[in-house]
Amino acid sequence: MTKIFIHITFIFALVLVSDRVFTLLFMPIFNRTISGQSGGSINYVIQHPHEYNVLILGSSRAKNSIDPAALSFLGKGYNLGINGSKPLNALLVLDVLLSHHVDPQTLIVQADLFELGPDQKDDTIEQLKRMYPYDTPLVRSYVNTMGPAEIFKYSFGLYRFNRKILNITYNFLKRNSQGEETGFVGLPSSPEKLDTTPQFANYQYDPSSLNAQALLKIKELADAHHIRLIVVFPPTYQNVGYNSTEQKRLREDLFAHGITEVIDLSTVDATPSLKNEENWRDSFHLSAAGAERFSKILASLIKP
């Protein structure tokens, strides 16, 4: 029994040392990676803390829809949209940026009603993983709510870098010469017929969800750092992601909590010029042409 215990202890110590050595060696590579969605775009802004007046946070619907060039009247902008992210992720990105003294004047947060439903633990962990290996008190506070297993795994650098090592290495070696100057990525139009099936007719807004609460915490951080906050709800093709009743509840809740600069374009009826199929890559993502039109519409609705 003693030999087994010694053997297990030796293996655990070996794993722990290997993890620490790997993290020590790989972290400088990660910190110097300034492109890609595994932290590179965040690092790019961190390395230019005073260069951008406007930061755009959100999912791929921000990344592929909002061109900072159209908002130049607000100053120089950078699009930090991350595929698959939700307001919780946006909150943690903002927290990381502020901890590195990034000081934008305006923050544009893209959000969607269908991100703000009841919490699901697996989805929350996925949102947190998008932020690994960044480590701030706020990130850790959310990790600590996920239970002992996630807390234990988070203590290992290999876990925090999991699924990102190849992407980080690729961006470091192949795409790292300049980074992405605006972060915006336009998409081609769809070569196929777009899906027009309504997907959120019975969707319900949950104001107590982590993502809904994250929007309120973004407001708190923005106010504390004297940053103007604008929340944007973009449309979907033929309103496949639109629910008028729940969208109204969401908008009223945001206003009640002091988030008053809300640009709600969630119904495509508010943007008739985007109804044509050529403006869409799929039912939820605008094409480059659609993004150009949407960005101009957005710019016309934002007061200087």
- pLDDT by residue (tens digit) across 123-161? 999 999 999 999 999 999 999 999 999 999 999 999 999
Q: Compute the distance between CA of residue 238 and CA of residue 204 in angstroms, rounded to an integer.
A: 20
Q: Compute the distance between CA of residue 118 and CA of residue 300 in angstroms, rounded to an integer.
A: 34
Tokens of 200: 């959120």
Rg (CA), the chain: 21
The three-class DSSP label of residue 218 is helix
Contact criterion met (CB below 8 Å) for 104 and 54: yes
Backbone φ and ψ of 181, nearest 5°: -65, -35
Average pLDDT over residues 68-79: 96
pLDDT at 113: 95
The gap from C-alpha 120 to its chain's centroid, in whole angstroms, comes to 18
Fold of 53-121+182-301: Rossmann fold (3.40.50)
Q: 151: Cβ–Cβ under 8 A, 6 or more apart, which residues?
A: 143, 144
Q: For residue 229, what is the enclosing H or E element?
A: strand 228-233
Band of the pLDDT at 4, cuts 50, 70, 90? Answer: confident
Average pLDDT over residues 96-108: 97
The amino acid sitting at 200 is F
Contact criterion met (CB below 8 Å) for 41 and 80: yes
Query: Of the ranges 10-24, 109-123, 190-204, 217-231, which one carries the lowest mean pLDDT score?
Result: 190-204
User: Average model confidence (pLDDT) for the chain?
Assistant: 92
pLDDT at 175: 64
pLDDT at 58: 97
More confident residue, 179 or 123: 123
pLDDT at 172: 86
pLDDT digits (tens, 9 = 90+) for 41-56: 999 999 999 999 999 9
Model confidence, pTM: 0.92
pLDDT digits (tens, 9 = 90+) for 212-269: 999 999 999 999 999 999 999 999 999 999 999 999 999 999 999 999 999 999 999 9
The CB-side HSE value for 166 (13 A sphere, CA atoms) comes to 1
Number of C-beta neighbours around residue 41 at 10 A = 24
pLDDT at 179: 47
Average pLDDT over residues 184-205: 84
pLDDT at 189: 87
pLDDT at 284 over 70: yes
